[in-house]
Chains A and B, each alone.
Chain A
Amino acid sequence: MLVRAVVLAAALGAIVLPAREAAARDARSDAKEQVEFGIKVAQNGLWKEAAYRWERAVQIDPTYGAAWNNLAIAYEQQGNFEKAREAYEKAVTLEPKNLLFRQNYDLFKEINDRAKRRRDR
């Protein structure tokens, strides 16, 4: 009886785990499509559309650091600093070793903090 239960659990695991991995892979590839399209439109200056695409990307795959990084840039370009900060923080939390995310975030902070200091003065 016990042996049968163990065998059944192993068989279920063998089916469910790869299925879950495959779903994650699908989500990442769908999100990647959105990210790539967002980059194309951003390069043509269509930042609103780009932001929409990257918002979709992080909805599909919230663990996709690059999507958060790009979304933060779009928010920054639109002057939406609070949202930009949150998105940058998400990107550097997901990939703390990514120097490109860190560099973008540092540049953003430099401008945003300076603007804040001016306003507070």
Chain B
Amino acid sequence: MTARSAAAIVSLALAGTVACTSFYEIPIETPIQPKMDVSMFQRVLIAGFIGGGTEDVDTNLETVRLLRSQLRTKSSLRVIEAEALQLAEIIRDQAKTEAPLPSSPGGAADGQQQAAPAPVPPLPNGGPEPIRIRNEKDLEKYQSIFSDVSFWKKLGEEYQGPLIITGTVLFSPLATAGYVPIEREYFDQLGRRRVIQSRAYQERKGFTLQPKLIYIDGRTGATLYSETLREEVLYSAQTNTPALSSYFELMDKLIPSFLNTLSMQKIRGTRVLVK
């Protein structure tokens, strides 16, 4: 018996074994336990976010709206309908009142005042300059509000101690270039359509979304949990995708993780039962 015929017999035997195995594909739902215990809260307040990055999307307002609508349908917590806080402006106003004298610009000795942003110079028409947060570094200046226990406790008292969700949302444009997998189609000598996989150098652009979600106990003002998520999307440089649709595309990917923080989520899949 040659090696080739022996191999053929072995593969036939293997095929027979697989064919004889009775198996049944079955849908399953895998429950994923929530990351946080929110059993002590009946209500949730999505307070507002410090948004940054592109100015094409109001990340504060859009994030508040989206998270509220998700929680309304996919969580047992009652969502409090309130106006979204403009946290960046609140911090700026706080900084104005606490600002040091002009003779010592930004020279406060204690850590608390250093954390607050420098006072914003008024515009010629008297109004304050609009707040521009472009990157993580800009956002850092505003982080102090999240550890301001008295601020969150006071806010919590207004709404009878709910779970408060706040944080930062950075949505920035992204541009990159490199080799990407592409499909090329051609027609062979007999006129049949063929597709071949290859790689091509392409300039690409898109967006990156980086929300930091902070969960605060509205009764005490203390932070219970926080997590930073990140997603990005890239398109060919010729594609003109509106920033808002990219924002929703990226949020779609992050929403399951957000929901899983507060409630049990079920992941659908299939497995194979074997006899």
Q: How many A-B residue contacts, CB cutoff 8 Å?
A: 59
User: How far apart are the CA atoms of A35 and B228 in the complex, in Å?
Assistant: 44
Name the segment of A4-12, A15-23, A69-77 touching the other chain: A69-77
Which of B30, B33, B35, B228 meets A77, CB within 8 Å?
A: B30
Contact bitstring A55-97, B, C-beta under 8 A = 1, else 0: 0000000000110011001001111000000000000000000
Verify B30–A79 contact, CB threshold 8 A. Answer: yes
Tell yes or no: B28 within 8 A of A by CB. Answer: yes
What's the minimum C-beta distance from A60 to chain B, rounded to whole angstroms?
15
Verify A66–B26 contact, CB threshold 8 A. Answer: no
CB within 8 Å for A42 and B32 given contacts A100-B21, A111-B267, A118-B257? no
CB within 8 Å for A36 and B271 given contacts A76-B28, A76-B30, A111-B30? no
Which of B21, B227, B271 meets A73, CB within 8 Å?
A: B271
Which of A36, A69, A118 meets B35, CB within 8 Å?
A: A118
5 contacts between A and B (CB under 8 A): A32-B275, A39-B273, A101-B274, A111-B269, A115-B32
Contacts of B26 in A (CB 8 A): 42-43, 73
What's the minimum C-beta distance from B6 to chain A, rounded to whole angstroms?
18
Which of A32, A36, A79, A103 meets B31, CB within 8 Å?
A: A79
Verify B275–A39 contact, CB threshold 8 A. Answer: yes
B24, B257, B260, B271: residue with the most chain A Cβ atoms closer than 10 Å: B271
B-binding residues in A (CB < 8 A):
32, 35-36, 39, 42-43, 65-66, 69-70, 73, 76-79, 98, 100-101, 103-104, 107-108, 111, 115, 118-119, 121
Which of B28, B32, B269, B274 meets A69, CB within 8 Å?
A: B274
Verify B30–A119 contact, CB threshold 8 A. Answer: no
Verify B267–A100 contact, CB threshold 8 A. Answer: no
Contacts of B174 in A (CB 8 A): none
Contacts of B151 in A (CB 8 A): none
Verify A100–B274 contact, CB threshold 8 A. Answer: yes
Contacts of B21 in A (CB 8 A): 100
User: How far apart are the CA atoms of A42 and B275 in the complex, in Å?
Assistant: 13
Contacts of A39 in B (CB 8 A): 24, 273, 275
Residues B231-275 near A (CB distance < 8 A)? 257, 260, 267, 269, 271-275
Contact bitstring B17-31, A, C-beta under 8 A = 1, else 0: 000010110101111
User: How far apart are the CA atoms of A118 and B261 in the complex, in Å?
Assistant: 9
Closest chain A residue, CB of each to CB of B33: A79
User: How far apart are the CA atoms of A66 and B24 in the complex, in Å?
Assistant: 12
What's the minimum C-beta distance from A79 to chain B, rounded to whole angstroms?
4
Verify A43–B28 contact, CB threshold 8 A. Answer: no
Verify B35–A119 contact, CB threshold 8 A. Answer: yes
Contacts of B28 in A (CB 8 A): 73, 76-77
Residues B73-125 near A (CB distance < 8 A)? none
User: How far apart are the CA atoms of A60 and B272 in the complex, in Å?
Assistant: 22
